[in-house]
Structure 1
């Protein structure tokens, strides 16, 4: 009898740069639930390759690196999800995860791993999973999940339930973000933070911020989004208590930033700038210098919109195409083709983001 051949799949998932808004909100039935809106960031993320071995028991699953326990759970759960769709028994296999995401900064490193794994396993079965299914599997694997399976579309996401509370719009207003790492880039132990309880006044405050953010996205109002992010960041400091937070706010105010944003479960933060305001390059450099002179590590500058060429294209050149509407991309060749070319794999670093 000929043994079944191994079947390989691959997947990728990006990360985020902390949150724009996080708190407790009301769902469509009026029930309270935790929710967040993340600030997407492309260019960094996790990649996974899964080689399944038909005919082997499902518990025969090896994972590299061996400490990725959440990713291992995600692989097993996705095998259980996909095998019946192909009318095959669940099987084991080998899982390999690579990437360049620092851990502990609140950039969704574990969720990026998990979603890359889900996509890789699904790809090995030739299955295309809907975003809601990916979210459900991610929450089962790690108990709470960031909305990275929805790519860059701004949504209010119930991270512990894996569902969208509200789709805010097709894209965020244009922003330039000057990123930094508070606390010297040391990872934040979220399990050691005190548990925060919220009363009715807190929920009303979060709902007001939700309304303002909805308006900011609908109208492309970057200044209003900056106000929401700053208010949410200040509320987050009631638990995180970063000693540099007031300094960060002061730098932003002095250099004309629209606001600040932070990771509510980590140390990453950012100054939000209006790309349409005059003297952008000067203000970006000023922000970086001010951060460094105050002992805050500047990390990277990125935008919420596609990069544009340094010089306008000639009339005969096709214009830059807009970002497509968000959808759950399949794994495998078609999915991988939409991302930047692969480069040599690097081990995950403990905390630091790449320097500017």
Structure 2
């Protein structure tokens, strides 16, 4: 565990978040990691602060946790893996791929890296996903003698981030300190949440529109494969997600996934669209089979599982509400 000094305390107060809060933020950008897994990796790397019984993690420590996780994943013989949030609550843990069974003839591995596909299959939300990653990676600095000392370098933010920052805070003027331009901790924390919301809202609208049109063949070829999936209601009860076992996910770190909000789904055509990306669909599971597969990690699934047609209806209603589909 990291010892807290003056600069550490400033980072905790300004940018530290609880593991559950990081899980929710990352879920919005399609990075699904369980709270349990995040806590375990924080303990393994020592990348966290402890205030009483509360664990707090800063953006810089999140980077350290994920860098360590990437090193471990590179040794795995299985493709990109993923751990989603626990069905019926906020956490879950991974499980062995050996237990999953699917009769789908669809290949579990993407084929988009072949020359015939090239960059034509590039995910349209890729730029925004990358922007969210860069936002998350912006590191606070300690400047001696300046207010609480914690600032973010305006000069070190790339042009896209600065432009997005000014979109949500048009009257912002960076603070000059010793010849450099900076964002104070107070300004950064408030703008950070607004920037995140702006980007994820833009991604959602784009994905709803994409779902109405359906995927191109090359886009689906590049998509991760989701097997043993079950549609579930979102925590608020108004949206839908998918839970299941994923292969070839670009940022996943465990076999079980709780996707970002669902924007469209057509099991007969073998695809689903979430806020973040396309998925190729294998066989649908049932709540009973899903619980048998994942055990206690899937507790409560029967209470939130919905029929596929209900998930489709939710997506259609959202598409109509946002004006990307006719009534």
Structure whose residues are more often helix by fraction: 2
Q: TM-score, normalised by structure 2?
A: 0.29
> TM-score, structure 1 length as denominator?
0.28
Higher strand share: 1
